[in-house]
A and B are shown apart, each in its own frame.
Chain A
Amino acid sequence: MNSRDQISGLFWLGISIFVCLESSRVGIGTFHSPGPGFLPFWAGVVLGTFAIILIVTNILKKQKENEITNLWKGVEWSKVILVFASLFIYTTLFTKVGYLITTFGLMAVLFSVVERRKIWIQGVTALITALVTYFVFYKWLGVQLPKGILGF
């Protein structure tokens, strides 16, 4: 299983089975009186059908190289993981800790992702970004940014 189309096809097949089962649970209804599961069920059937077509057409092609490992060859995928992890942690702490502190932390991490600079430069840039966006969005545009347990 080294083809990205085979893997993605199996993924979509799994999704389509799940969707069809869920749609049956809420009620597909009849053609006379379509239920809430009607459209998602048939969309799931289309999804599953084309997932199978994708898998089959890929099996019929002669696959030589390992496409999966090639996807991440020569690219800095660790930076992608770092950005995603930072965003995920930020999202979970955002409303609890508050906008300013979490944004300062996020910016400090993100500014160092592409190119590392001196820590104090990154820190100051992150602080300025957090403060400027706080004033622009919260004070000026009235966007309700979360205050968190510390009140800011």
Chain B
Amino acid sequence: MEILHSLLYGFSVGLQPANILFCFIGVLIGTLVGVLPGIGPVGAISILLPTTFHMSPVSAIIMLAGIYYGAMYGGSTTSILVNIPGEAASVVTCLDGYQMARKGRAGPALGIAAFGSFIAGTLGLIGLMIFAAPLAEFGLRFGPPEYFAVILLGLTLITHLSQGSVIKAIIMGAFGIILSCVGLDHIQASPRMTFNLIQLWDGIDLVPIAMGLFGIAEILSNIEKTTAPEILKTKIKNLFPTVLDWMQAKGAILRGSVLGFFLGILPGGGAVIASFFSYSLEKKISKEPSKFGNGAIEGVAGPESANNAATAGAFVPFLTLGIPPNILMALLFGALVIHGIRPGPFLLKDHPDIFWGLISSMYIGNGMLLVLNLPLIPIWVQVLKVPYRILFPVILLFCVIGSYSINNKSFDVLIMVIFGVVGYLFRKFDYEGAPLLLAFVLGPLLELNLRQSLILSKGNFSIFFTRPISAAATSLAIIIFILPLFSYFIKKKKA
């Protein structure tokens, strides 16, 4: 009952005209970003982050969150029509979605992706409401050792669940922590790695790094390619799935929703992993696994539901414990901190308008997205036809303006350009930017809690093992860290 009252309060915030407008802008931009290959939700949120500085914190988080889950809807369009994922969480949708389109079933593929996303998004929100309050209560028992241990666990998980090499992901995580230490030390104000540059005394800003690593680097990687993607020339009809389509897809949608929600909660989990897991699950339990990869509707419904449910799940640790489980949440974390609000167990108590306003806006946003995605598909197809030679300079310009507008300093633009090249080289050398950025965002929290814990315990590391929550989290982090080594040695012994 209390949840319902809180949700009604949330709707009183979310249904304010300004917030409806920002929700609409967010989901529209998110869909557009999801449709357009070459820029993902991370790049879009990074670019638009400075524009939220003049908004209220509620409106800011509503808009930015709208971009996040809107991109999940939009990403399926290019996967199905062009066989190029609009963003990473829609990679798996290419496998069967494009095959359905080739067989003249683009409409039902797009339709089931949109409806599945809507159902999963709604179910995910219900999960968020149920889990949030108890987890926030649990979070009130956290002290510096618990925070340090959970952040360490989060960083360990994200490095081990990354798609590439674990060694490289750990290197990225360590480098991210080092970058977060640049500037004046928060406790003693000693300059660290500032190279006598006064511009670095406040450290490096999140926005230029994020824009550089994900926006500029993506563009540089795209312009070196010699071929342009071709859009499938097919008539898109019958956007509403048939009864048979629903019968085949309903199980996949429900399973994807549950799987996606819980995977979204895990640090390092998120929409990408959720979509892959869902596809694997559907293929495993299917009576006809051979139809996967040839236009199985479950291969579209499951992953698309999973990636949307995961976006709701990701808000659970972010809002209740103040720990962003993935890079997008890390950016939203940065956005709230810029507005002077610290996500965590006290957010529900001190800023219920932000918490419940956000949840209600996600209900509203999901409804908007269902309306936007289906009837506007012909428009999105036209947008896809905008030549990349026109699109990428405009995106670059937005990145420049976005970086400059943070502090009105060209130094931030220079940082963005440098990290753009760094991000491009990372891609060449197979390094992922996500562990770096997450570690960069969590680095200051990690350092503060580590130093406070050691001061509390007079330098005794056993503080992390004597308190139950931190003991569990630290032990789990160590096990996850060591596990790949064990399996490596076992494999070597067998060989």
Residues of A bordering B, CB below 8 Å = 4-5, 7-8, 12, 15, 19, 22-23, 26-27, 30-40, 43-44, 46-47, 50-51, 53-54, 57, 71, 74-77, 79-80, 83-84, 87-88, 90-92, 94-95, 103, 106-107, 110-111, 113-115, 125, 129, 133, 137, 141-146
Q: Establish whether residues A133 and B397, one from each chain, have CB atoms under 8 Å apart when the complex forms.
A: yes
* A43 in contact with B459 (CB, 8 Å): no
Residues of B within 8 A of A74 (CB): 226
Q: Is the CB of B389 within 8 A of A115?
A: yes
Cβ of B250 < 8 Å from any Cβ of A?
no
Q: Judge if B188 is at the interface, Cβ distance under 8 Å.
A: yes
Assuming the A-B contacts A4-B429, A31-B461, A57-B167, are A87 and B396 also in contact, with contact meaning beta carbons closer than 8 angstroms in the complex?
A: yes
A–B complex contacts, Cβ < 8 Å, 7 sampled: A8-B431, A39-B446, A39-B450, A47-B175, A50-B167, A54-B168, A129-B397
CA distance A50 to B174 in the complex (A): 10
Given contacts A43-B174, A43-B177, contact A19 B193 (CB under 8 A): yes
Task: Specify which of B420, B443, B446, B451 is in contact with A84 (CB 8 Å cutoff).
Answer: B420
Beyond A88-B417, A110-B393, whether A71 also contacts B405 by CB under 8 A is: no
In the complex, chain A residues whose CB is within 8 Å of the CB of B405: 137, 143-144
B168-226 contacts to A, CB under 8 A, are 168, 170-171, 174-175, 177-178, 181, 185, 187-188, 190-193, 216, 219-220, 223-226
Question: Are A144 and B408 in contact (CB-based, < 8 A)?
Answer: yes
**B397, B410, B430, B446: the one within 8 Å of A4 (CB):** B430
Given contacts A110-B393, A133-B401, A141-B51, contact A91 B178 (CB under 8 A): no
Which residues of chain A come closer than 8 Å to B190, judged between CB atoms?
A: 26-27, 36
Total A-B contacts with CB atoms under 8 angstroms apart = 168
Q: In the complex, are the beta carbons of A103 and B397 less than 8 A apart?
A: yes
Residues of chain A with a CB closer than 8 A to B187's CB: 36
Please name all residues of chain B whose beta carbon is closer than 8 Å to the beta carbon of A87 when the two chains form the complex. 216, 396, 400, 417, 420
Cβ-defined contact, B397 with A114, below 8 A: no
Would A40 and B219 count as touching, CB distance under 8 A? no
Beyond the given A43-B181, A110-B393, could you list 19 further A-B residue pairs with CB under 8 A, ordered by the A residue number?
A: A19-B178, A32-B459, A33-B454, A37-B192, A39-B446, A43-B178, A47-B174, A53-B167, A54-B171, A71-B428, A75-B225, A76-B224, A88-B417, A106-B397, A107-B397, A114-B387, A114-B389, A129-B394, A146-B404
Cα–Cα, bound, A104→B312 (Å): 42
Min CB distance, B453 to chain A, in Å?
A: 10
B245 at the A interface (CB under 8 A): no
A2 to chain B, nearest CB (A): 13
Closest to A87 in B: B417
Give min CB distance, B463 to chain A, whole Å.
11
Q: Which residue of A lies closest to B221 (CB)?
A: A80
Q: In the assembled complex, which residues on chain B have CB atoms less than 8 Å from the CB atom of A7?
A: 429
Partner of B404, one of A75, A83, A145: A145
Q: A37-B192, A129-B393, A141-B51 are in contact. Are A15 and B175 (CB under 8 A)?
A: yes
How far is it, in angstroms, between the C-alpha of A125 and the C-alpha of B386 when the chains are bound?
Answer: 14
B392 within 8 A of partner (CB):
yes
Partner of A95, one of B188, B219, B388, B410: B410
Chain B, residue nearest A44 (CB): B178
For residue B193, give the distance in angstroms from its CB to the closest CB of chain A: 5
Of all chain A residues, the one with the shortest Cβ separation from B488 is A57
Give which listed residue, B192, B393, B397, B404, contacts A40 with CB less than 8 A: B192
Known: A40-B178, A95-B410. Is A12-B192 also a contact (CB below 8 A)?
Answer: no
Tell me if B404 and A50 are in contact (CB < 8 A).
no
Instruction: Give the residue of A8, A15, A36, A75 whose beta carbon is less than 8 angstroms from that of B185.
Output: A36
**What are the 8 closest A-B residue pairs judged by CB atoms, nearest first?**
A31-B459, A36-B185, A32-B459, A114-B389, A110-B393, A47-B174, A75-B224, A40-B181
The answer to whether B171 touches A39 (Cβ under 8 A) is no
Contacts of A106 in B (CB 8 A): 393, 397
Q: Does chain A have a CB within 8 A of B476?
A: no
The answer to whether the Cβ of B455 comes within 8 Å of any Cβ in the partner chain is yes
Q: Which residues of A contact B136 (CB under 8 A)?
A: none
Please name the residue on chain B nearest to A16 by beta carbon.
B174
Query: What residues on A are CB-neighbors of B181 within 8 Å?
Result: 39-40, 43
A83 touches B220 (CB 8 A): yes
- Residues of B283-298 contacting chain A, CB below 8 A: none
B447 — which chain A residues lie within 8 A by C-beta? 38-39
Nearest chain A residue, comparing its CB with the CB of B414: A91
Contacting residues, chain B, for A107 (C-beta < 8 A)? 393, 397
Q: Shortest distance in angstroms between A139's beta carbon and chain B's nearest beta carbon?
A: 13
**Contact A94 B413, beta carbon cutoff 8 Å:** yes
With the chains together, A75 CA to B175 CA distance in Å?
29
**For B454, what are the chain A residues with a Cβ–Cβ distance below 8 Å?**
31-34
